[in-house]
């Protein structure tokens, strides 16, 4: 069997849970039509819980239809782009599905973006309307762009006891630091009010024909290795396919009968597709959090008997030591999933000791509509992000060519399936580089260095751009970080290659020490620790202590920012 045949044989199918098959029945339907079907079936069930405020599926459908009518009357038509510059809240869900209902596409904007980044996304995506949190409006105003319409909304609109909530917790802090436009300013700038539009329009949206295979549902932006972020083109068919694939792979979820914690930000593909869309396309109850306040989340998990918890590595790293983590019976949950970054072994070990529950790793990208791999529920493998979802083909090729590499060898992960994006918005060259043709099939080059073992489980090594070349050796930044995280006094670490004319790239580690170790643990001690645990060429030559490390929107250490700092110096 040659290398290509080894992947075509799909060895991972032998390790699928009982009853899970590789074929997926994907309905040819749009995202809003899929939601409408579910909302009709589970009309009386609770769709959203927002700090105690409950919204049923019937009520949510009515709100979506009202806002869709408003958007249509404001001139939003099929093919237009509606930008969502919102924190997690019911209005996010309403605006998202309403925009899709009238045939528009959504582009979600990160609430932590600067006005410069917002301006780029609004212009690049051709957005004509932005639905904006009132506390974030200043940043839209600073872009200087003349939008067709800006619709403002307040967190207060769907809170049961706003003043009581405002007095405590992260939400109060967020509000106290931000300015809300006054009624006069709103009038002068021609700003519209979300709630007024909801009240004004009846729940009778226009009938718009959507071709799921061709029509775009979302333009989520993904961080570029260089330059500005670019948008992945995701059709309705991409999103509906992913829901069908996940449902096939995790058949233990009971439609209309699960409770999911929704604190991952919806602007990010993980929160948007794995949490929001998966929940609302299966009749689940979603408990919404505007800010990921740990105490609020843990209390809600017990109060509402959560059955699924989706997190990122930093969340589990924090929870494994948090004093109140034991308030939740984690073994009762049907699924505890982790994605968006590499889960360090030290975190997994400490978590399992603390809770007795397993974390199931997955893998995906914005370009794969959030997911391509997951860990089989009956047979996860530590250090692996699992196996391809039903309907996904995966293989490993040379990271600088297209030759297939045999199992066990490290190369670039390529993917094929119904959930793979159509390309990058307005980026023909980047699309040609990412979507390649091999023997008449379209494959996505992920840019990730991965290997597949003999059983068909996949193992992550690094991003292609994070590979460090030292004296001709290839050094995976993640391997060095894994060792650093095993040091009892290291809280966080980020490893990058710094250009050096003699050796190619010098290995540099940015380290955050535990508070009690600061000023007591030296650079030399860290280097010696690495020498004991790493091959000589992998040992960092430079250690820089920091109070904190730059993070991405979903809380992973931003190696790109660290690398740029090192290069500037």
**CA 299 from centre of chain:** 24
Residue with tokens 């970054």: 341
Residue with tokens 């809770």: 355
Closest by Cα among 294, 289, 283, 243 to 259 = 283
What is the average pLDDT score of the chain?
A: 92
The Cα 80–Cα 124 span in angstroms is 13
Closest by Cα among 100, 137, 92 to 118 = 137
Give yes or no for residue 567 having a pLDDT over 90.
no
The pLDDT, as a whole number, for residue 222 is 87
- pLDDT tens per residue, range 190-207: 899 999 999 999 999 999
Q: Tokens for 161? A: 């006891």
Q: What percent of the chain has pLDDT over 90?
A: 78
The Cα 193–Cα 134 span in angstroms is 9
The pLDDT, as a whole number, for residue 167 is 44
Q: What is the DSSP string of 45-77?
A: SEEEEETTEEEEHHHHHHHHHHHHHHHHHTT--
Q: How confident is the model at residue 226 (pLDDT cuts 50, 70, 90)?
A: very low
- pLDDT tens per residue, range 173-188: 555 567 788 888 888 8
Q: How confident is the model at residue 415 (pLDDT cuts 50, 70, 90)?
A: very high
CB-based contact 368:444 (threshold 8 Å): yes
The Cα 483–Cα 475 span in angstroms is 13
* Least confident window among 223-232, 256-265, 534-543: 223-232
CB-based contact 108:267 (threshold 8 Å): yes
The pLDDT, as a whole number, for residue 557 is 85
The pLDDT, as a whole number, for residue 168 is 46
- pLDDT tens per residue, range 480-492: 998 999 999 999 9
The pLDDT, as a whole number, for residue 335 is 97
Could you tell me which residues come within 8 angstroms of residue 563 by beta carbon, excluding any fewer than 6 positions away? 496, 497, 498
The Cα 234–Cα 220 span in angstroms is 8
Q: Checking phi first, is residue 340 left (phi over 0); if not, alpha (psi -120 to 50) or beta?
A: left
Nearest 5°: CA angle at 214, between 208 and 219?
90
The pLDDT, as a whole number, for residue 40 is 98
CB-based contact 262:308 (threshold 8 Å): no
Q: How confident is the model at residue 394 (pLDDT cuts 50, 70, 90)?
A: very high
SS3 string of 197-252? HHHHCCCCCCCCCCCCCCCEEECCEECCCCCCCEEECEEHHHHHHHHHHHHHHCCC
Is the pTM for the entire model greater than 0.75? yes
Q: How confident is the model at residue 162 (pLDDT cuts 50, 70, 90)?
A: low
Give yes or no for residue 169 having a pLDDT over 60.
no
* Least confident window among 168-177, 183-192, 331-340: 168-177
The pLDDT, as a whole number, for residue 176 is 59
Give yes or no for residue 439 having a pLDDT over 50.
yes
CB-based contact 255:282 (threshold 8 Å): yes
Among the residues of 401-476, which ranges form H helices?
Answer: 428-434
Give yes or no for residue 164 having a pLDDT over 70.
no
The pLDDT, as a whole number, for residue 172 is 54
Mean pLDDT of all residues in 394-422: 95
Rounded to whole angstroms, what are the CA distances from 156 to 91, 198, 265, 557? Answer: 11, 15, 18, 32
CB-based contact 259:305 (threshold 8 Å): yes
- pLDDT tens per residue, range 143-154: 999 999 999 999
The pLDDT, as a whole number, for residue 390 is 98
Q: How confident is the model at residue 441 (pLDDT cuts 50, 70, 90)?
A: very high
Q: Which domains does the chain have, with CATH numbers?
A: 3-26+237-462 (3.40.50.12780), 57-209 (3.40.50.980), 471-568 (3.30.300.30)
The Cα 236–Cα 105 span in angstroms is 10
**Which of the pair, 237 or 184, is modelled with greater confidence?**
237
Give yes or no for residue 93 having a pLDDT over 90.
yes
């Amino acid at each position: 069997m040659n290398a290509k045949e080894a992947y075509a044989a799909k060895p991972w199918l032998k390790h699928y849970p009982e009853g899970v098959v590789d074929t997926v029945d994907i309905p040819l339907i749009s995202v809003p039509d899929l939601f409408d079907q579910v909302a009709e079936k589970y009309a009386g069930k609770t769709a959203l819980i927002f700090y105690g405020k409950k919204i049923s599926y019937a009520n949510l459908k009515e709100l979506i239809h009202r806002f869709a009518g408003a958007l249509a009357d404001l001139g939003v038509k099929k093919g237009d782009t509606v930008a969502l510059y919102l924190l997690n809240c019911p209005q996010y869900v309403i605006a998202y599905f309403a925009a899709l209902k009238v045939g528009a596409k959504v582009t979600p904007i990160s609430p932590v973006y600067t006005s410069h980044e917002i301006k780029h996304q609004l212009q690049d995506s051709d957005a004509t309307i932005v639905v904006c949190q009132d506390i974030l409006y200043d940043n839209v105003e600073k872009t200087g762009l003349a939008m067709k319409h800006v619709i403002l909304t307040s967190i207060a609109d769907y809170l049961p006891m706003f003043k009581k909530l405002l007095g405590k917790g992260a939400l109060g802090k967020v509000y106290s630091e931000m300015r809300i436009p006054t009624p006069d300013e709103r009038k002068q700038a021609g700003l519209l009010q979300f709630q007024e539009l909801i009240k004004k329009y009846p729940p009778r949206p226009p009938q718009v024909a959507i071709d799921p295979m061709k029509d775009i549902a979302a333009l989520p932006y993904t961080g570029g290795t260089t330059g500005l972020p670019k948008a992945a083109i995701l059709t309705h068919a991409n999103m509906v396919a992913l829901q069908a694939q996940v449902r096939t792979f995790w058949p233990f979820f009971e439609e209309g009968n699960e409770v999911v914690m929704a604190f991952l930000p919806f602007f990010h593909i993980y929160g948007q597709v794995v949490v929001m869309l998966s929940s609302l396309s299966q009749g689940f109850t979603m408990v919404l959090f505007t800010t990921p306040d740990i105490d609020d989340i843990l209390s809600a998990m017990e109060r509402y008997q959560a059955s699924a918890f989706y997190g990122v590595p930093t969340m589990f790293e924090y929870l494994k030591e948090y004093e109140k983590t034991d308030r939740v019976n984690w073994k009762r949950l049907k699924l505890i999933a982790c994605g968006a970054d590499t889960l360090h072994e030290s975190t997994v070990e400490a978590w399992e000791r603390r809770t007795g529950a397993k974390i199931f790793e997955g893998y995906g990208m914005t370009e794969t509509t959030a997911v391509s791999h997951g860990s089989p529920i009956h047979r996860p493998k530590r250090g692996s992000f699992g196996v391809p979802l039903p309907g996904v083909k995966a293989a490993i090729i040379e990271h600088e060519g297209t030759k297939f590499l045999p199992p066990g060898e490290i190369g670039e992960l390529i993917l094929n399936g119904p959930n793979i994006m159509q390309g990058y918005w307005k980026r023909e060259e980047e699309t040609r580089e990412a979507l390649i043709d091999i023997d008449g099939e379209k494959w996505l080059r992920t840019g990730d260095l991965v290997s597949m073992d003999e059983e068909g489980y996949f193992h992550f090594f690094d991003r292609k751009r994070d590979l460090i070349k030292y004296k001709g050796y290839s050094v995976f930044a993640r391997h060095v970080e894994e060792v650093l995280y095993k040091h009892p006094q290291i809280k966080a670490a980020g490893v990058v290659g710094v250009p050096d004319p003699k050796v190619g790239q010098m290995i540099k580690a940015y380290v955050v020490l535990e508070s009690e170790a600061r000023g007591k643990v030296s650079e030399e001690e860290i280097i010696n620790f690495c020498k004991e645990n790493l091959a000589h060429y992998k040992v960092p030559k430079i250690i820089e202590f920091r109070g904190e490390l730059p993070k991405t929107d979903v809380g992973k250490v931003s190696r790109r920012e660290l690398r740029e700092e090192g290069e500037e110096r």
